[in-house]
């Protein structure tokens, strides 16, 4: 699986749940130092965008998986 980040770079996703977890963590990080405010804003935008794209990828893959599941009914 691949996604395109906000810098138009292709990123290969090999472990989607872990990628989602990491992006969720990184999108909330900020430096304590006020001098880093602009850079922090840029990084937060990057990670929020990546997180949204990863969640969308997960949703699409879940949809494809459920669409391909056999329709099985169990009787007692």
In a domain, 30, yes or no: yes
- pTM (2 d.p.): 0.77
**Is 33 part of any domain?**
yes
Q: What is the mean pLDDT of the chain?
A: 86
Over 80: is that where the pLDDT of 34 sits? no
Long-range contacts of 43-50 (CB under 8 A, 24+ apart): 45/6, 46/5, 46/6, 46/7, 47/23, 49/5, 49/6, 50/3, 50/5, 50/6, 50/11, 50/23
Residue 16 class from Cβ within 10 Å (0-12 exposed, 13-18 middle, 19+ buried)? middle
Flag whether pLDDT at 4 surpasses 90: yes
In a domain, 70, yes or no: no
33: containing domain? 2-61
Domain membership of residue 42 (yes or no) is yes
Q: Pull the structure tokens for residue 24.
A: 């969720």
In a domain, 68, yes or no: no
Label residue 65 by pLDDT band (50, 70, 90): low
Asked whether residue 67 is assigned to any structural domain, the reply reads no
Domain total for the chain? 1
CA distance linking residue 64 with residue 41, whole number of Å: 35
Query: Does 76 fall in a domain?
Result: no
């Amino acid at each position: 699986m691949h996604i395109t980040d906000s810098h138009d770079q292709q990123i290969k996703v090999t472990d989607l749940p872990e990628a989602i977890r990491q992006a969720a963590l990184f999108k909330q990080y900020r430096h304590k130092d006020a001098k880093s405010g602009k850079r922090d804003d840029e990084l937060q935008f990057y990670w929020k965008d990546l997180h949204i794209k990863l969640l969308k990828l997960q949703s699409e893959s879940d949809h494809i998986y459920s669409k391909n599941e056999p329709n099985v009914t169990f009787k007692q």
